[in-house]
């Protein structure tokens, strides 16, 4: 179970594969088991676990004709693995299995092979001491107790057991004042503590609530961290109190200790469901079977609900009692227990010398208000008693719907129980009934409980009354749903929102409950009839065939696995831009590596001179350079850097309001807290002569907002508190007294619509694009050249998105030389920008500020500009106090104030011509784009520009007009995010295509294909498609290929048939293309530098201007350098990115980093190679680089070089305001005179298939197939990883990820404009269960790109939009369901 783990980078599939390869069921010890399956049988048994990598020739390594001469890593590894496997299996032949490689064709490896390989690697790399680390770290006293036994050492330490059996008391006397902790070992000791420290107790402070029981810290931890609650006394009950921790069964009940872990309860229920029916004497067999059925029926709904309750990590420590007393109105288990009729046993000890007093309370009566329960302060929940269901004709079903299936709080949750009995309805003799009656099923009892429908867990008592005594039939439940709708009316501004959806969910759950009960009743009647001869039961109500799909729901379903196929062309070292730019040429380049090796071998055989084997690194699927460290948790991030001496921790002072004036800041309350070292505001910046203004384009922001200025957003930084610990600093920041004036919160401009109404725009950055004729005039016509013109009009909205990088913004500022120098360790994509503003704000020369960046835990654009204020906030106190300062934002703070993806609104009007053969041809588009830039400009203008450049996607519009307007609102400054506005524009394009397809009643696939750009067509911004302009235009061919290979017409037909037969479950298929322009649209940014050192041992150190955020940039750069020097990849290293090694760098963004720094590194490598070539000529042909470098050093030859690369002037840059020059060639496209915004396009197509539950909106992605043109890949495995990660991130943006602010649609959020989704509790990114069950990614072959290093293409951002194919599946399902309800289908 990986339900508690989130990943923002990989797309989950490789993690799933790796974890699955370690499962014991995939690995068997064959040495002592004569019945063990053979390899072939195991391969068949686990065939679903085989992943293959196909090359164009389809030949496995072992079948390759160049098997003996091929020196590719895959072939060598394949041969080595075969030898090892045969040795392990005792085989004598090299041909006993079907493993493959990727030499000219196919690589395949099963999970069993991976386990054997991983175990051998681990065993060979690590010593016994390494393996013993867990035992070495574990306290010896506890280890001895765990081991037990009668050995002398155990007896010698027997007194430790006695010590551990005593009650424990820990008092925090530090400045953190963490209170007093107790661990009692008996129930009496526990109850005495609650009596003495509860409200009114002898040790109570008098304020009440002075004692908290902590079992898993899953609720108290939230209260203390996020709500800043303080509890002077906390109790953790020992496991020795068995009545609190045991889970067991009796004749009529399940008994669950109040402190029993939910995971233990889930495991108990699982075991109860799996117990065999046999094992008793025949005379007791019938009773035993009935009892077992009762246990299984009761255990299953509890087990199924717990599977989706929080996460494995939470369930392992959280307890049922804590869930009950917390009284969350959206708890999953509380409605379940209510419906089951569970009771609580509450225990207390009123007198120290008295006995334990117990009382029972029904769970359904326990909740008396919001977070309020019927429990005295001195009472604890000792256990929960859950009555067993009847063995037949009584059913309990759990229901849950959340934004995400896994690890998410419910929107609505429910437990429903029903008890049925046969009954006879009397009929009047006067009616001809003869005094008889109809034999039917009657509802004897029903219990329906909901969470998420009120401020507490509630029973639907009116609905229950409407059902009890009624016939068990559909009409009874239809009437009950009407009662339910009246019983749970909620206002639109109900906390949590979604009032109508929540009510719909409740009604849908009730309908699904009926359908499930019909199915279960059918099974029971059949089983009862088989067991009891002559028994007669009423007929079970029938369900229409199309209704049958409504049975079930995801709560009771098995969690799906993830499978995938990754396909890429045979690796090769291709020629690219370096041929033209650096004059490089290689007669063996552009050949598959196996063929190149064969050519080299042939040249060697024809010559008597010794030659050195070529080390080919480019094109190889090499492991990410930091991959092993990522997997083991040893990778060092900013917050992991060991604390320097005298380190201070910083916490930001944040504004709690917006649209008000900052009147004053009183720092004295913070300074009075022990451990607080200082508080710094804008006044301190002024005192040291620093510049408080900042911003990437406009200097419209502040490091610390000065008093008297307007507060622009909730969470704006007012200052920083530094202290001895993070907790002390945060306490100090909360203590700072901030006053506001001119508070006009109600006028805060939050949404794009608010901005339009208020005309709140950055008008100087509104851009317009025109080509062709006058669009307004064209769209007023009904015909064009005698052909009908179809005109559509509408709007399209796309929401924001949180970056959710796993490492929040973090900076460590270290002063030196009496604080005249600063070294800034920052998690940033922009070291130079960070250097610049840290220097400005501290009044320090930039030459004395060094920014270093080893690696980021994700960036996605969020650390391009919005990381800088964190660095400056740390630099100010570091400079002024001459002490190191670390500022690491909490997740909620990071999300609340750093901004995210821009929300967009598009208003469009478009026309298309209906040709004589029925073909629809796009004719004219008029579109106005608005984005929500937040309160500061940041990068909102460039983001809008890129959206305008992509609103055409892959389709040709002869007449085109677009306008982009950035909006200014009271949200935090929004910023770069993967795609940088491109996906928002692309989404509008695809929406318009679907609008046309619906309006014209034509196939969306055909409409798209008929309107794709052809060679020599031009985009609205003047770029023409063709080899000399944009490179190869592959989208039409890729589209046709995938359409055929995946049988997309057949898939659509099968989905349509499925939808006709199923009322409540719908399937949708979507097929979309994308093209993404590669280059910074600001010309000056298309440059990069690199510094390369060749050492005398033949190893190479590279430093370049890019930053590593997990995308594999350093790995690719190392491959380029290793290829240039013809050395193994392991001999090249990138340490970090540092402004004192490569200065004046450009942020790592726009997917340009490999293009820039790969070429810059290659430039530096070529300089060194050119210098040492004369030395190399004096040595034997097989001389190593080490030998050459050593001799060059003694010849006083410089072995270091600075490389530089800039895109050609005519391949980047776009001047929006440039008018058409006189004499501009008429045969060139419109707007071509403004520039050439992109160097080339990365292209891709994707198909997705989704299944949606129309009753609840829940969905699963059945499959996704992606084909991407990344040129000639430098590293296929990294590129595929980038594609998978981008796809899932794009899918999340378009489906489940929702950024919510307090606005007109969310009036329950206060203050207005405050961000609500500030953590994983409220903001949901895709989890393991959201990934396509079949996820296949392919790289296009024969797709060379002459405009980038080694013919590669950028890959980071382009695939993001392809994840939106899942959204268009949803849209198709919705349209199908709507049409079916209206009787159209």
Using DSSP bridges, classify how beta strands 920-932 and 959-967 pair: parallel, antiparallel or unpaired: parallel
Which residues on neighbouring strands pair with residue 909, listed in sequence order? 793, 926
Using DSSP bridges, classify how beta strands 253-257 and 343-348 pair: parallel, antiparallel or unpaired: unpaired
Q: Which two tokens stand for residue 1275?
A: 């590293």
Instruction: Say which residues have a Cβ less than 8 Å from residue 1370's Cβ, sequence separation at least 6.
Output: 1068, 1250, 1252, 1259, 1295
Concatenate the DSSP letters of all residues of 886-935 into one string: EEE--HHHHHHHS--BPPEEEEEEEEEEE-TTS-EEEEEEEEEEEEE--S
How far apart CA 510 and CA 476 sit, in angstroms, is 11
CA 1234 distance to own-chain centroid:
39
Query: Is 864:975 a contact under the CB 8 Å cutoff?
Result: yes
Radius of gyration, CA atoms only, the chain: 34
Look at phi and psi of residue 371 and say left if phi exceeds 0, alpha if psi is from -120 to 50, else beta: left
How far apart CA 902 and CA 802 sit, in angstroms, is 10
The 3-state secondary structure of 763-832 reads HHHCEEEEECCCHHHHCCCCEECCEEEEEEEEEEEECCECCCCCCCCEEEEEEECCCCEEEEEECCCCHH
The angle subtended at Cα 1205 by Cα 1199 and Cα 1211, nearest 5°, is 165
Query: Is 978:861 a contact under the CB 8 Å cutoff?
Result: yes
Could you tell me which of 706, 707, 705 has the C-alpha nearest to residue 716?
705
Give rounded-to-5 percent helix, strand, coil for the chain.
35, 20, 40
443-475 burial: b if 16+ Cβ within 10 Å, else e: bbebbbbbbbbeebbbbbeebbebbeebbbbbe
Could you tell me which of 1059, 1019, 1054, 1056 has the C-alpha nearest to residue 1035?
1019
Q: What three-state secondary structure class fits 705?
A: coil
How far apart CA 728 and CA 720 sit, in angstroms, is 12
CA 1284 distance to own-chain centroid:
12
Q: If you count them, how many residues does the chain have? A: 1385
Report H helices in 1134-1275.
1153-1177, 1185-1194
Concatenate the DSSP letters of all residues of 948-981 into one string: HHHTTTTB--SEEEEEEEEE--SSPPP---TTTT
Look at phi and psi of residue 8 and say left if phi exceeds 0, alpha if psi is from -120 to 50, else beta: alpha
Residue 807 catalytic?
Answer: no
Q: Report CA-CA distances (Å) from 141 to 70, 144, 147, 166.
A: 57, 5, 10, 15
Q: What three-state secondary structure class fits 467?
A: helix
Which residues on neighbouring strands pair with residue 439, listed in sequence order? 424
How far apart CA 1371 and CA 796 sit, in angstroms, is 13
Given 219, 487, 1284, 1357, the catalytic residue = 1357
Query: Is 736:1194 a contact under the CB 8 Å cutoff?
Result: no
How far apart CA 581 and CA 1163 sit, in angstroms, is 9
Could you tell me which of 376, 440, 452 has the C-alpha nearest to residue 409?
452
Phi, psi of 935 (to 5 degrees): -90, -10
The angle subtended at Cα 212 by Cα 208 and Cα 218, nearest 5°, is 135
Which residues are known to be catalytic? 1357
């Amino acid at each position: 179970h990986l339900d508690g783990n989130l990943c923002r980078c990989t797309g989950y599939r490789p993690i799933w594969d790796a974890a699955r390869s370690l499962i014991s069921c995939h690995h068997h010890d064959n040495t002592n088991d004569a019945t063990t399956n053979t390899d072939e049988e195991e391969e068949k048994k686990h065939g679903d676990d085989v992943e293959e990598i196909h090359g164009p020739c389809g030949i496995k390594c072992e079948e390759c004709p160049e098997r003996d001469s091929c020196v590719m890593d895959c072939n060598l590894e394949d041969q080595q693995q075969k030898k090892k496997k045969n040795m392990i299996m005792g085989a004598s032949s090299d041909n006993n299995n079907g493993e493959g490689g990727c030499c000219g064709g196919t690589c395949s490896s099963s999970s069993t092979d991976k386990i054997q390989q991983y175990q051998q690697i681990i065993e060979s790399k690590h010593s016994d001491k390494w393996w013993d680390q867990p035992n070495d770290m574990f306290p010896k006293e506890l280890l001895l107790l765990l081991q037990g036994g009668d050995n002398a050492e155990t007896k010698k330490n027997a007194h430790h057991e006695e010590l551990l059996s005593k009650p424990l008391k820990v008092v925090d006397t530090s400045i953190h004042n963490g209170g007093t902790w107790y661990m009692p070992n008996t129930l009496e000791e526990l109850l005495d503590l609650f009596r003495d420290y509860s409200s009114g107790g002898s040790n109570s402070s008098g304020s009440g609530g002075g004692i908290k029981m902590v079992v898993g810290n899953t609720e108290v931890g939230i209260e203390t961290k996020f709500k800043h609650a303080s509890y002077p006394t906390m109790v953790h009950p020992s496991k020795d109190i068995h009545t609190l921790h045991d889970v067991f069964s009796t004749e009529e009940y399940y008994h669950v200790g109040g402190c029993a872990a939910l995971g233990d309860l889930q495991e108990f229920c699982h075991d109860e469901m799996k117990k065999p029916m046999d094992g008793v004497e025949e005379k007791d067999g019938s009773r035993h079977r009935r009892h077992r059925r009762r246990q299984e029926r009761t255990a299953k709904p509890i087990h199924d609900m717990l599977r989706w309750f929080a996460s494995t990590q939470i369930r392992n420590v959280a307890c049922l009692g804590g869930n009950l007393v917390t009284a969350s109105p959206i708890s999953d288990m509380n409605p379940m227990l209510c419906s089951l009729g569970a009771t609580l046993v509450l225990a207390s000890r009123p007198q120290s010398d008295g006995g334990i007093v117990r009382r029972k309370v029904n769970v359904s009566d326990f909740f008396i208000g919001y977070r309020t329960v019927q429990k005295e302060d001195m009472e604890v929940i000792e256990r929960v008693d859950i009555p067993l269901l009847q063995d037949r004709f009584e059913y309990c079903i759990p229901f849950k719907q959340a934004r995400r299936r896994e690890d998410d709080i419910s929107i609505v949750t429910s437990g429903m129980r029903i008890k049925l009995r046969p009954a006879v309805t009397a009929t009047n003799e006067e009616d001809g009934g003869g005094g008889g009656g109809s034999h039917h099923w009657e509802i004897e009892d029903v219990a329906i409980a909901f969470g998420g429908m009120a401020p507490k867990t509630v029973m639907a008592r009116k609905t229950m009354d409407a059902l009890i005594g009624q016939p068990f039939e559909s009409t009874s439940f239809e009437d009950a749903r009407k009662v339910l709708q009246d019983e749970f009316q909620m206002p639109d501004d109900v906390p949590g929102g979604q009032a109508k959806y929540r009510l719909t969910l409740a009604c849908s759950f009730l309908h699904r409950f009926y359908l499930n009960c019909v199915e279960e009743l059918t099974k029971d009647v059949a089983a009862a009839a088989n067991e009891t001869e002559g028994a007669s039961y009423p007929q079970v109500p029938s369900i229409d065939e199309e209704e049958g799909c409504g049975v079930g729901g995801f709560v009771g379903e098995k969690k799906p696995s993830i499978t995938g196929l990754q396909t890429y062309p045979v690796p090769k070292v291709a020629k690219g831009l370096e041929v033209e730019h650096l004059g490089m040429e290689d007669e063996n380049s552009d050949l598959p590596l196996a063929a190149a090796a064969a050519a080299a071998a042939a040249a060697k055989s024809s010559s008597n001179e010794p030659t050195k084997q070529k080390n080919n690194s480019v094109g190889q699927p090499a492991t990410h350079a930091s991959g092993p460290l990522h997997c083991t948790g040893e990778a060092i991030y900013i917050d992991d850097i060991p604390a320097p001496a005298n380190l201070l921790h910083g916490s930001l002072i944040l504004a709690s309001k917006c649209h008000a004036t900052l009147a004053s800041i009183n720092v004295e309350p913070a300074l009075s807290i022990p451990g607080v070292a200082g508080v710094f505001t804008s006044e301190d910046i002024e005192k040291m002569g620093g510049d408080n203004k900042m911003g990437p384009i406009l200097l419209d922001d502040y490091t610390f907002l000065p008093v008297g200025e307007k507060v622009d957003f909730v969470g704006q930084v007012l200052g920083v508190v530094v202290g001895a610990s993070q907790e002390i600093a945060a306490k100090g920041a909360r203590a700072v007294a901030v006053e506001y004036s001119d508070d006009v919160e109600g006028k805060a401009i939050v949404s794009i619509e608010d901005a339009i109404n208020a005309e709140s725009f950055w008008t100087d950055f509104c851009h317009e694009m025109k080509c062709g004729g006058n669009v307004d005039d064209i769209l007023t016509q009904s015909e064009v050249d005698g052909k009908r013109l179809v005109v559509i009009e509408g709007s399209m909205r796309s929401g924001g998105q949180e970056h959710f990088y796993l490492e929040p913004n973090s900076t460590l500022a270290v002063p030196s030389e009496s604080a005249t120098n600063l070294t800034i360790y920052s998690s940033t994509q922009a070291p130079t920008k960070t250097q610049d503003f840290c220097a400005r704000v501290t009044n320090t020369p930039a030459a004395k500020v060094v920014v270093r960046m080893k690696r980021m835990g994700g960036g996605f654009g969020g650390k391009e500009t919005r990381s800088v204020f964190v660095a400056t906030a740390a630099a100010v106190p570091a400079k002024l106090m001459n002490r190191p300062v670390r500022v690491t934002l909490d997740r909620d703070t990071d999300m609340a104030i750093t901004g995210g993806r821009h929300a967009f609104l598009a208003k469009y009007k478009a026309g298309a011509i209906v040709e004589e053969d029925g073909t629809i041809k796009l004719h004219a588009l008029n579109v106005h784009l608005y984005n929500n830039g937040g309160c500061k400009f940041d990068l909102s203008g460039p983001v809008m520009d890129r959206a305008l450049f992509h609103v055409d996607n892959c389709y040709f519009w002869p007449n085109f007009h677009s306008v982009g307007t950035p909006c200014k609102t009271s949200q935090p400054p929004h910023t770069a995010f993967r795609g940088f506005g491109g996906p928002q524009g692309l989404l509008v394009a695809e929406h318009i295509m679907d609008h046309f397809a619906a309006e014209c009643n034509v196939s969306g696939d055909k409409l798209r294909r008929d309107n794709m750009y052809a060679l020599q067509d031009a985009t609205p911004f003047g770029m023409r498609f063709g080899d000399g302009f944009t490179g190869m235009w592959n989208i039409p061919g890729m589209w046709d290929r995938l359409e055929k290979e995946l049988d997309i017409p057949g898939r659509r037909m099968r989905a349509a048939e499925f939808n006709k037969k199923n009322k409540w479950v719908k399937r949708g298929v979507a097929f979309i293309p994308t093209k993404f322009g590669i280059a910074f649209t600001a010309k000056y940014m298309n440059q990069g530098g690199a510094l390369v050192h060749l050492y005398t041992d033949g190893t190479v150190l590279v430093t370049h201007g890019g930053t590593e955020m997990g995308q594999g940039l350093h790995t690719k750069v190392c491959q380029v350098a290793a290829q240039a020097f013809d050395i193994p990849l392991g001999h090249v290293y990138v340490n970090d990115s540092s402004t004192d090694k490569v200065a004046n760098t450009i942020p790592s963004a726009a997917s340009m980093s490999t293009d820039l720094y790969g070429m810059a590194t290659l430039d530096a490598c070529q300089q060194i190679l050119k210098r040492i070539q004369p030395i190399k000529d004096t040595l034997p042909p097989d001389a190593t680089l080490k030998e050459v470098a050593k001799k060059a050093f003694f010849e006083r030859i410089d072995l270091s070089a600075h490389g530089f690369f800039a895109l050609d002037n005519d391949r980047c840059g776009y001047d929006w305001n440039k008018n058409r020059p006189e004499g501009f060639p008429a045969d060139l496209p419109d707007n071509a005179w403004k520039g050439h915004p992109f160097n080339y396009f990365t292209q891709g197509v994707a198909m997705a298939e989704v299944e949606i539950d129309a009753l609840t909106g829940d969905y699963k992605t059945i499959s996704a197939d992606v084909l991407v043109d990344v040129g000639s890949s430098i590293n296929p495995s990294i590129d595929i990883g980038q594609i998978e990660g981008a796809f899932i991130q794009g899918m999340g943006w378009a489906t489940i990820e929702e950024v919510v602010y307090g606005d007109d649609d969310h009036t329950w959020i206060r203050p207005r404009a405050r961000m609500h989704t500030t953590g994983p509790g409220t903001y949901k990114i895709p989890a393991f269960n959201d990934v396509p069950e079949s996820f296949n990614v392919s790289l296009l072959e024969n797709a060379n790109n002459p405009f980038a290093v080694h013919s590669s293409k950028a890959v980071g951002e382009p695939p993001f939009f392809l994840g939106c194919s899942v959204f268009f599946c949803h849209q198709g399902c919705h349209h199908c369901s709507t049409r079916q309800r209206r009787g159209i289908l």
